[in-house]
Amino acid sequence: MKKVLAIVGPTAVGKTAMSIKLARQFQGEIISGDSMQVYRGLDIGTAKVTAAEKQGVVHHLIDVRNITERFSVADFVAEASRLIDEIIARDHLPIIVGGTGFYLQALLEGLELGGDQFESDKLRRQLMETVQQAGKAALYERLKKVDPKAAEQISPNNVRRVIRALEVYLKTGRRFSDQVNHPRRYDPLIIGLTTERQKLYARINQRVDLMMTRGLLEEARYLYDKGGNRLQAGKGIGYHEFYDYFENNIDLSTAVDNVKKDSRHYAKRQLTWFRNKTKPTWYDVIDCPDDVKRLQHDVEEWL
């Protein structure tokens, strides 16, 4: 099977730096597994790798969509699959790096995504109308009837995931909970980066402060002026928190604090997802120098 290295973990834990280090050591090319880095013009809030940071390492799936376009998990699987084949054909190592857990799960486990069903705006509007007219509980009850197993795994408050599960069923006739229909094509090594919780939160806060000095507010304003929450790109953490500030509902300090708070909560959700879904081997490359050596040794042994 095709070998694929994946580096996962919460925001601000050092995935970018470690991925470049490993890519240089093992002749790798990096595929971004981040749902926001695909968008052109959103560089600061997505912590997009800079030209200097790349150190000559080839990166893929960065700046491949305009902010007015959508990018679904089905798009990611299709494009990442193609890139993996091309990278292997060059005798290089594909390295997927990012914090969007469902992207990685869909790719590595061969989830059946029904082609472009997530782009079905008409169906999505109909499901959203159910929420607006009858409430999210009614939508959740609908999911429980057609796919009780998926309903057990999805929170009733996670309307986006409930809609996604219903879309799969309504478009394909197959239950979302049964969407593992393809044999595994890859031999993955999944590396998880982590560190002590309070240290991670401090790094997140510091990174947001640094982003502000680099122009995060201007980037958020640009996104707001283009449509804000009406765009898929506009819903990203680090951007939507400023919209109330632009509308004079909160002050700037509160908006920045909200970015930090939402980023910390997101990091916690990321850790939970990866622990439960992808089950990586964990390393603390921030506080434990021996973990860096162990990680490099484990990759070499796997290869």
What are the backbone dihedrals phi and psi of residue 188, each rounded to the nearest 5 degrees, phi first?
-90, 150
Residue 13 labeled ligand binder:
yes
3-state class of 159 per DSSP? helix
Rounded Cα distance between 161 and 159, Å, is 5
Question: What is the rounded CA–CA span in Å between residue 64 and residue 66?
Answer: 7
Task: Please check if 16 is assigned to a binding site.
Answer: yes
Q: Which residues pair with 283 in a beta bridge?
A: 193
Which strands make up the sheet holding 2-8, listed edge to edge? 59-60, 28-32, 93-97, 2-8, 186-193, 281-283
Report helix angle 121-134 to 159-172, nearest 10: 130
Q: Is residue 2 marked as binding?
A: no
Is 159 assigned to a binding site? Answer: no
10 is in an annotated binding site: yes
Tokens read off for 188 = 């993955």
56 is in an annotated binding site: no
Q: Is 11 annotated as a binding residue?
A: yes
β-strand 93-97 against 281-283: which pairing, if any? unpaired
Q: Is 122 annotated as a binding residue?
A: no
**Neighbouring-strand partners of residue 2:** 186
- Return the structure tokens found at 279: 């089950």
Calpha distance 80→64 (Å, rounded): 12
Residue 95 and residue 22: Cα distance in Å, rounded?
Answer: 9
Which residues are documented as binding site for ATP? 9-16
Which residues are documented as binding site for substrate? 11-16
Which residues are documented as binding site? 9-16
